[in-house]
Structure 1
Amino acid sequence: MEKRQAEILAPAGSWASMKAAVAAGADAVYMGGTRFGARAYADNPDEKGLLEAIDYVHLHGRRLYMTVNTLFKESELKELVEYMTPYYEQGLDGVIVQDLGALRIMKENFPGLELHASTQMTITSVYGARMLKDYGCSRVVTSREMSLDEIRRVHQEVDVEIESFVHGALCYCYSGQCLMSSLIGGRSGNRGRCAQPCRLPYRVYEGQAGQGKSPAINRENEKYVLSLKDLCTLDILPDILEAGVYSLKIEGRMKSPRYTAGVVSIYRKYVDHYLTQGREGWHVGPDDRKMLLDLFDRGGFTSGYYEEHNGRDMVALKEKPEFREGNQKLFDYLDRTYVEAELKEPVRGHVILETGKPSVMTLSCSGAEVTVKGQAPQAAQKQPMTEEKVLKQLNKTGNTPFIFEHLSAELKGEMFLPVQALNELRRSGLEALESAMLKLYRVGRVLEDGGDKAQPVMPDDMGAIQTAQPSAAAQTAQPSAAAQTAQSSATVQSAQPSAAPASRHPAVPFTLTVSVEEPCQLEPVLRQKDVSAVYLDADGFAPSSWKDIADRCHAAGKTCYLALPHIFRDHALKFFKDSQSLLENAGFDGVLVRALEEIQWLEDNRISLPFITDASVYAWNSGTLEELASKNPLAVTMPWELNSREMGPVVLACSKADIPGELVVYGHAPMMVSAQCITRTVKSCTHKRGLLMLKDRTGAMLPVKNHCRFCYNTIYNPSPVSLLGSEDLIRRMGLARIRLQFTVEDAQQTGKVLEAFSSSFLRGEMKEPPFKDFTRGHFKRGVE
């Protein structure tokens, strides 16, 4: 179908919301099915309901994009083709995807289906957009944190459609980088089950000393430091469109049909104004703004990140009132006008009735035209039919999705045709017209394979948990003499370390790698002979020190890698442009990539350093691993949210691709990575790295670090992950590279942890853990 100049994209968490969105003027809706959507708790339709929704939007000239925007476990990936086939054959317009393995399967099995890269992919730059275009995406959904300038550059440099959020809730964390709900209660945002812990109150304390003893630095009535106001961009809508955004996305699949209708109707009004009159007379009426606030108000609106990087004015801070009287007059209007509306498409028709010949009806609507034949009129014995009576009867379209805007009749001779025959002629005509209109969306979509459904194109032996054999890459990834890769032929039998069978093969030493964020952590690492590789955080260590530290690592028999930032936006681009010669001449053995788009940046800028992917570059399944393998990483780090059994197929795929897998066995997991800065919110911007502590309602203290070079915050899990005691299972899984990840530890604690883990994993000497509180993370339990 012909595309509009701009697209208003509405949320549809239910059938009722979908109809309300269409009635209010949405050009497209995004909707989830029963599985794999980032809103698992929405009133998502079953297969029959979603198929009917696809037909409904198409009959009214709109589009439907299906959300398949979660990360996939191996067993789920095998079910994806069967799950998607009915929707594809029905004419689904596009699919929104987060997982690279799922994206690959969609591309190979569903030709012609638009692939949209979800905001969950954390696309923040030209490099991310270019990479996803190369992977087959025709559209990228930008991170909510991107500025207008960043979006404009994507529009100018990458031939993809841009979809950006213009209204609704804002996540505190970069989408796709939030593990907070997952680590606290097992409800993963990457699986559509976020429990929204960011909407809870927190007290903020200075530094590590803030264990509840020192006074909080945020005011008593401003405890909602992670709760952002809702986005509303009416004032800057022309700027957004002129920056190159094609699809204007409204958030709200968990909200009511009434909310959807109201928000869509307002944005329809202003988008139409811009498309017809441009900026002339642009003014947002106070009544329209009030209507949006009446529909949902979390403490006022913000225009978001389009014009500023972060700010206190974006944060709700104060508690939302428990009760606020609703605008019933508005609600009734929206229900009556949109929610309960029955849309009808205008049809043009012509009927020819001639005695003794089959009656003929020709109908046309939205580019489709059909002709049907019916019962032949007989010569009139008494009173002949009139044109007026024929048209009156045929105009009764009833509960069909059509209404005649023009209908003519041509009667040849004096005749009679029963009312039932006229009704049947109209019914068959409108059914044929509906079928023809829907067929326009389904052309070439039916999959054929000997009469059966198409067989999925999948990675070889996907899903089998087999022996993870040592790879050549595993032997060469760490040039140091201490670097060895473990071999294991035992099958993973249990997700519980204590229940795993004993290893039947001699243990091969683990390769111990260490990442450090603070200079004080470096000296204990250099002194520890068992460490084979050091990952140096780019924010914590100045470029002027890189060469000296790399030389010291090499002198100590260790390889040295630079850990790139978790977020790779303008701050990072400028930093590395200014420091590129220092990076290339420091003598690093490679880099640790923490964002998918950094791989593209390395390639585009011809920086010939090998790379290792971190846990934040999600490799949940063998399909994703094979996509990453095509970029030739030195190693791939296992994700935080898979349990030991679920990692099996990924480890196997690593072995087949000759790429060692790496597992973080100690460290405070990053729960949130945010463009917001808590220091700036509760005090003011210091432009200095520092540490704050968030105290939640349970008394837990969450460390928060501001990474000023790249202007983002990281909130860490209060208890470190520790896999002490799981050594045998990790060996049998085929994971020989293990990492200790130091973030907020001081030098003394760093040394103690190093000694405990090297003794246990490398020498088989069990020592008392040098910490009281710890968690196994998801290594045993996994996520839903």
Structure 2
Amino acid sequence: MNEIELLAPVGSFDALKAAVQNGANAVYLGGKDFSARASANNFDREELIEAVKYAHIRDVRVFVTTNTLIKQNEIEDFVEYAKFLYDIDVDAIIMQDIGVAMLIHELLPDFELHASTQMVAHSLEDVQYLESVGFKRVVLARELTVEEIKYICDNTNVDIEIFVHGALCVCYSGGCLMSSMIGNRSGNRGRCAQPCRQKYTMIDISTGEEIHNNGDYLLSTRDLNTIEEIDKIIETGVLSLKIEGRMKKPEYVATVISSYRNAIDEYEATKKVSISDETMEDLYTIFNRKFTKGLILGEVGEDVMNSNVPNNQGLYVGKVVDYNKKAKRLKIKLEGTLKKGDGINLGGGTIGRIIKGKEIAQIGYKGETIELDFIGEARKNQPVFKTSDTDLIDKAQKTYTQDKEFAKSLIDAEISIKLGEYPELKLIDKNDNSVTVKGDKLVEEALKVALSEEKIETQIKKLGNTPYEIDNLNIKLDKGVSMPISLINQMRREAIDLLDEARIPVKNRADKNKYIKYSPKKYERNLDQKSKIRVKVNNIEALKSIINLDIDMIYYEDVTTLEQATAMANANNKKLVYSAPRIVRNKEYRRLEKSNEYCKDNVQISALGQVKYYKENNENVSFEVDYYLNSFNSETINHYKKEGAKTVCISQELNIHEIKETTQYTDVEIETVAYGYIPMMLSEYCPMGVVARSCKKEKRCANCKESKYVLRDFKGEEYRVAQDLFCRSTIYNSSANCLINNLEELSDAGINVFRLDFTHENPDLISKITKAFINTVNNNFTVNINDQEIFDEMDTTLGHLYKGVE
């Protein structure tokens, strides 16, 4: 089994020090550009150089997050930035954009590539595909269980990284458009506005009834905390245990990293995990939204969600006994410790004095009833949580604010002191870096007291506040010789400085002096070709409504009725292509086996692993690539072309100008969704099952099949919720994207396939909408009055057609 890597989040230089000094083996951080946490402090270029030096000297690897989707006009700048990271000895680059990742792999083949969790790798097929195209590491989707992770680790050679602590996304990362569609801030561009942390009400469409649970934050997840069962995760065979939190303070990084470092070390030494109450209390206090062991350890539904509080809850310490508003005194019965300077969840600020009867104290203990000076609102029996702890903050800060070296690397030393020769000191680290320093004075015969091995050992081991500790020391000493102790000390200091420098570079990096440039090939697109209408439907009744219409192709989503749908299409001389689900996890591919029978030449794919899966089953299969695969630029589109794509549906987050800029560098057929309710979230969490309390975990229940619920936000917008083949929830936009009046502009931008996606529309409306688009295309993109009336009665949006995302 590989030595486990503890991977820390770093949002500032203090956080870097906190991570390194508390035992991280690697850190991940973002520069000012192309980082999926655009609102974090992040590092400018000079700071990145210094961060790499600081980490590498202390034997800590540095991974830089460039895990956003890259626009066409940004590729040249991205290539230059990637070369800068390569040249300053960043160990690896973390990426979401598959096309640009392949470009970097081509230009800098020895730059280690990590597939971000934004790539939605959720199956062995996904991981094996990413390994096959050059990724060294894959960060798995947070939804996978330890059993699934072990299955992947047992069947792949790529390094596997997983999240073990911190904030969770309710949606599969990389597949969320909710922030983008609602507020124009794209999670795929590092600007998520976290709409999942807002209030929602669940409405039963059929009755109009509001369905209430214990809280209003129906999409807000708890924070992940796996420390008590970290052994189960380590035993899967993963390489890297990742802590979330680049937006968090250094104190958080110090506390969480030290806690997991101790747990990992204890397990590796004893094969047991025993987490103290103090450690758990520290983790609760430093930050939590309630904790869950997560889907990774088998918790589901309510156990993963926190509908009450979308922010830090803290550590439970007692209940309010009384509040005297006039006297401004709050009385608390303690079930934990509370000190002067601590913070609690009632009001802002920190605790001043602690009153026990007539005495003023610094601290209150479990079992005591205390009073606090308090201005605000509180009610009897209200739970009290400690949200900051002065001792904990002080303990954490001491690890990184005093420039003390707590994380030591073991090194070996050899010193040769021979009569008549210059003394020589060699230092060797565990990564085979070695440095040698010669003294500038010859070794002489001792006149009085000869130099002893004990004295030499004492001086060589005086490494003080350096990041090193001597492991093995080999002394070659002639008898009866002498040399100044100051010379030994000088040699030691010089050798340490040289070893620092030797540890900074990544070894054998071949292209540091190579000049690289991005030069995409331009294509002349045939803008005169006839535009095509394609339709996506998910059931037989919807299929019936469009089967006789003049459309180019039908995408069909329901594998259970695929045989019937194919027969119907063949009888009506229509091309029908199976559209695979966005998420198919490991053994779930068995449910798709039937599709291979009907996908011998063509299939629409929505996940990277589906390239591998369908090619293995049908060697000559070609692909229609759905927009879930985030085709944001020509590099990605052309990558899919190499894999056999005939049509690529372009990202729904690009505006018309960005589309036009992109299509000139590819000759692949480009598709866009010209009508449809865009899926904004795909989640393992079922809000219907939890809130409506009608969930049958072992199968889809009638309520799920009916898809009769919406989530209503504070503005009154309503988002339809539906479930797929595998009981996963999809949340759709409140308005339908409708570009019927913009087809000519889209055609001029290089799009010749207009797709209509139908989800919960009735068959009659499906037929009317499809006919309206057919009429418009046939009428030189002019919408007739009767067709326009259909859309005037609907709540529609142009999506990102003119806005795009930042």
TM range (shorter): 0.7 to 0.9
Distance in 1 of aligned mates of 2:612 and 2:264: 35
Q: Which residue is equivalent to 1:429?
A: 495
5 Å-filtered alignment, 1:191-590, equals 191-207=189-205, 209=206, 214-219=208-213, 221-279=214-272, 282-299=273-290, 301-308=291-298, 310-319=300-309, 320=311, 323=346, 324-325=385-386, 326-338=388-400, 340-343=402-405, 345=409, 361-366=425-430, 367-373=432-438, 375-376=440-441, 401=467, 427-439=493-505, 441-448=506-513, 453-456=514-517, 458=518, 460-461=520-521, 467-469=524-526, 487-488=527-528, 508-527=529-548, 529-538=549-558, 542-543=560-561, 546-570=562-586, 572-577=588-593, 579-580=594-595, 584=597, 590=602
Q: Which residue is equivalent to 2:69?
A: 71
Is contact 1:562–1:588 with CA below 8 Å preserved after alignment?
no
* Residue in structure 2 matching 1:643, options 644, 652, 655: 655
- State the aligned residue count: 715
Alignment partner of 1:641: what SS? Answer: coil
Distance in 2 of aligned mates of 1:26 and 1:562: 46
Q: Which residue is equivalent to 2:142?
A: 144
Worse-matched range after superposition: 407-416 or 752-761: 407-416
- Closer, same or farther in 2 for the Cα pair 1:45/1:228, shift >3 Å? same
Distance in 2 of aligned mates of 1:235 and 1:399: 34
The code of the aligned residue for 1:616 comes to Y
* Residue in structure 2 matching 1:183, options 181, 190, 194: 181
Distance in 2 of aligned mates of 1:610 and 1:724: 29
- Closer, same or farther in 2 for the Cα pair 1:736/1:86, shift >3 Å? closer
Distance in 1 of aligned mates of 2:78 and 2:152: 31
Is contact 2:671–2:751 with CA below 8 Å preserved after alignment?
yes
Distance in 2 of aligned mates of 1:608 and 1:567: 23
- Closer, same or farther in 2 for the Cα pair 1:355/1:155, shift >3 Å? closer
Distance in 2 of aligned mates of 1:588 and 1:752: 32
The code of the aligned residue for 1:284 comes to I
Report the alpha carbon displacement of residue 402 of structure 1 after superposing the two structures with TM.
5.2
- Tell me the alpha carbon deviations over residues 109-146 of structure 1, each in whole angstroms, 9 at most, x when there is no partner: 22333222111111111110111011111221111111
- Tell me the alpha carbon deviations over residues 18-45 of structure 1, each in whole angstroms, 9 at most, x when there is no partner: 2111111111111112212211111211
Is contact 1:532–1:557 with CA below 8 Å preserved after alignment?
no
Distance in 2 of aligned mates of 1:592 and 1:627: 16
The code of the aligned residue for 1:218 comes to H
Is contact 2:293–2:299 with CA below 8 Å preserved after alignment?
no
Report the alpha carbon displacement of residue 556 of structure 1 after superposing the two structures with TM.
3.6
Is contact 1:91–1:445 with CA below 8 Å preserved after alignment?
no
- Closer, same or farther in 2 for the Cα pair 1:45/1:518, shift >3 Å? same
Alignment partner of 2:627: what SS? Answer: coil
Distance in 1 of aligned mates of 2:482 and 2:162: 61
Alignment partner of 1:317: what SS? Answer: coil
Distance in 2 of aligned mates of 1:550 and 1:164: 40
Distance in 1 of aligned mates of 2:421 and 2:25: 43
Report the alpha carbon displacement of residue 597 of structure 1 after superposing the two structures with TM.
1.6
Q: Which residue is equivalent to 1:628?
A: 640
Distance in 2 of aligned mates of 1:752 and 1:699: 28
- Closer, same or farther in 2 for the Cα pair 1:338/1:409, shift >3 Å? farther
The code of the aligned residue for 2:504 comes to L
Distance in 1 of aligned mates of 2:196 and 2:636: 29
Structure 2: give runs of 5+ residues left out of the alignment. 314-344, 347-384
Is contact 1:384–1:416 with CA below 8 Å preserved after alignment?
no
Distance in 1 of aligned mates of 2:681 and 2:665: 29
Report the alpha carbon displacement of residue 762 of structure 1 after superposing the two structures with TM.
2.6
- Closer, same or farther in 2 for the Cα pair 1:120/1:378, shift >3 Å? closer
Alignment partner of 1:261: what SS? Answer: helix
Alignment partner of 1:144: what SS? Answer: coil
Is contact 2:684–2:728 with CA below 8 Å preserved after alignment?
yes
Distance in 2 of aligned mates of 1:782 and 1:225: 28
Is contact 1:641–1:782 with CA below 8 Å preserved after alignment?
yes
Q: Which residue is equivalent to 1:685?
A: 695
Over 6 Å off, 4+ runs? 350-359, 377-380, 382-399, 403-419, 421-424
Is contact 2:539–2:558 with CA below 8 Å preserved after alignment?
no
Q: Which residue is equivalent to 1:749?
A: 765
Distance in 2 of aligned mates of 1:309 and 1:535: 35
Q: Which residue is equivalent to 2:372?
A: none
- Tell me the alpha carbon deviations over residues 741-781 of structure 1, each in whole angstroms, 9 at most, x when there is no partner: 11122233323322332232332442323444322111211
Report the alpha carbon displacement of residue 633 of structure 1 after superposing the two structures with TM.
1.9
Identity of matched residues, %: 32
* Residue in structure 2 matching 1:601, options 597, 605, 613: 613
Alignment partner of 1:79: what SS? Answer: helix
Distance in 2 of aligned mates of 1:29 and 1:735: 42
Distance in 2 of aligned mates of 1:397 and 1:152: 42
The code of the aligned residue for 1:684 comes to S
Distance in 2 of aligned mates of 1:293 and 1:361: 49
- TM-score by structure 1 length? 0.83
Alignment partner of 1:38: what SS? Answer: coil
Report the alpha carbon displacement of residue 100 of structure 1 after superposing the two structures with TM.
1.1
- Closer, same or farther in 2 for the Cα pair 1:392/1:633, shift >3 Å? closer
- Tell me the alpha carbon deviations over residues 403-449 of structure 1, each in whole angstroms, 9 at most, x when there is no partner: 77879897999999797x8886555433222222334x34334533x
Distance in 2 of aligned mates of 1:621 and 1:297: 38
The code of the aligned residue for 2:293 comes to S
Is contact 1:377–1:417 with CA below 8 Å preserved after alignment?
no
Report the alpha carbon displacement of residue 731 of structure 1 after superposing the two structures with TM.
1.7
Pair 1:616-2:636 in alignment: no
* Residue in structure 1 matching 2:718, options 671, 687, 701: 701
Q: Which residue is equivalent to 1:716?
A: 732
Distance in 2 of aligned mates of 1:159 and 1:753: 49
Report the alpha carbon displacement of residue 149 of structure 1 after superposing the two structures with TM.
2.2
- Closer, same or farther in 2 for the Cα pair 1:159/1:776, shift >3 Å? same
- Tell me the alpha carbon deviations over residues 368-403 of structure 1, each in whole angstroms, 9 at most, x when there is no partner: 3322345548999x9999999999999887876557
Worse-matched range after superposition: 587-596 or 618-627: 587-596
Report the alpha carbon displacement of residue 253 of structure 1 after superposing the two structures with TM.
0.8
Report the alpha carbon displacement of residue 338 of structure 1 after superposing the two structures with TM.
4.7
- Closer, same or farther in 2 for the Cα pair 1:398/1:269, shift >3 Å? closer
Distance in 1 of aligned mates of 2:753 and 2:184: 26
Is contact 1:77–1:101 with CA below 8 Å preserved after alignment?
no
Alignment partner of 2:629: what SS? Answer: coil
- Closer, same or farther in 2 for the Cα pair 1:395/1:71, shift >3 Å? same
Distance in 1 of aligned mates of 2:469 and 2:128: 45
- Closer, same or farther in 2 for the Cα pair 1:339/1:559, shift >3 Å? farther
Alignment partner of 2:266: what SS? Answer: helix
Pair 1:34-2:65 in alignment: no
- Closer, same or farther in 2 for the Cα pair 1:145/1:509, shift >3 Å? same
Alignment partner of 1:227: what SS? Answer: coil
Distance in 2 of aligned mates of 1:5 and 1:417: 42
Pair 1:780-2:802 in alignment: yes
Is contact 1:721–1:775 with CA below 8 Å preserved after alignment?
yes
- TM-score by structure 2 length? 0.81
For the aligned residue pairs, the C-alpha RMSD in angstroms reads 3.3
Report the alpha carbon displacement of residue 361 of structure 1 after superposing the two structures with TM.
4.6
